[in-house]
Amino acid sequence: MSENPVTEGQQFPLTIKRIGINGEGIGYFKRSVVFVTGALTGEEVVVEATKVNPRYTEAKIRKIRKKSPHRVTPPCPVYDACGGCQLQHLSYPEQLKMKKDLITQSLEKHTRFYPNQIKIHDTIGMGNPWGYRNKSQFQVREVDGEVAAGLFGAESHELVPIENCVVQHPDTVKVTNFVRDLLEELDIPIYEEQRNSGIVRTIVVRTGIKTGEIQLVFVTNSKKLTRKRELIDRIQTAIPEVVSIMQNINQAKTSLIFGEETIFLAGKDKMTEKLGEIEFDLSARAFFQLNPSQTEKLYREVARAIRLTGSEKVVDAYCGVGTIGLSLAKRVAEVRGMDTIAESIEDAKANATRAGITNITFETGKAEEIFPKWIKAGFKPDAIVVDPPRVGCEDQLLQSILRTNAKQIVYVSCNPSTLARDIQVLAKRYNVKYIQPLDMFPHTAHVESITVLTLKN
């Protein structure tokens, strides 16, 4: 392998060729790849190398010589420090084009398909790409003697206090700020990492955009919550929309938000949200899509993708609280779903009962273990919907799918790299009909997509 021609601290000119999966600009210096945070396609920049690896260089912009016509001023005051969004400096229509390109890049890198072999539709975007996130998880720490709530900065463990996050739903901001100020006023001990002392670590707020209900979860370092009664009373009096107040205990030194134990504090133990016509009861740890209006578009695309006659048996793998399976149930003979989180499965069952849907069953466990068990017992699915986490599908599940002869697969993905890897495996027996990108998280580098595969004759 040739040596990287760049040395740390070196400054050099660069032309940006495209945007990468983390929202960074990509250029080439003496044929060596350079990643530049905040640079846009077509820009000519002078950069400084900040990190040099044998195969690539990370760099920061020193000067923009030729600016992209699509560069805009980010509206967020802490955009550079926070790291929660990566693309606020790129106009929204261009973000949608870039997200389609991310899928093309992943196919080029991780599959043996030719770029023109697979039809990739234009990205489905949002009419208003701001204030869309229905859930916030803000860390709480003391900063300069005051209680602050915010996110850890990009690549750092420094808290960036956030007063108003422009991609969060206003209700989540309102509740977080009120609770932060209340913790200060009531002098409730705030978590301190170095000494592993204090109590409140994280404020988690989820709002029902359709129902107006709000759930608040205190993630704490101990079961004890000082001045609990007063805290709850003040919140319920000031913000009656908070219908569920919970406490989750996380004593581990970890970047994971939640611990295993959740305690009911006040109101009800779940909140309600609607997607389409179906109501969902959500417990504190249950996964639910963060952008409900785009989720409804996503499910419409899933429903449109599957050719249904009414007699089909459908599998909803990685089902969460059953959102996809329940949205399809009335149009098919039977749906089976599975997920690893027991609370999600309990919620899924309750959601089915509440909606009066009787042709759906849910089981707790790993998709790669439960699916083969069903097949062995004689279950024959006609269509399979997979919506895996960022790591993609386990190979064991993919191999089981290949043996089923299911006519259709709809792969809902939140990570183009693992999607490409998995469809390369499925391509042994399936044709890729098309890929439909969808923008679930405007102003970030994330892209969701729906891939439709049909069994080869």
In 212-286, beta strands by DSSP E:
214-220, 242-249, 261-267, 271-275, 278-282
Residue 163 structure tokens? 């007063």
Residue 323 structure tokens? 């959102």
For 442, other C-beta atoms within 10 Å of its C-beta total: 23
DSSP-derived letter for residue 117 is G
At residue 393, φ and ψ (nearest 5 deg) are -85, 145
Active site residues: 414
Q: Is the dihedral of CA 128, 130, 131, 134 positive or negative?
A: positive
Long-range contacts of 62-71 (CB under 8 A, 24+ apart): 62/11, 64/39, 65/13, 66/42, 67/43, 68/40, 68/41, 68/42, 68/43, 70/40, 70/94, 71/40, 71/43
∠ CA 399-405-408, rounded to 5°: 95
37 vs 221: CA distance, rounded Å: 35
Beta strand 214-220 pairing with 200-207: antiparallel
Left if phi > 0, otherwise alpha if psi is -120 to 50, otherwise beta: which for 117? alpha
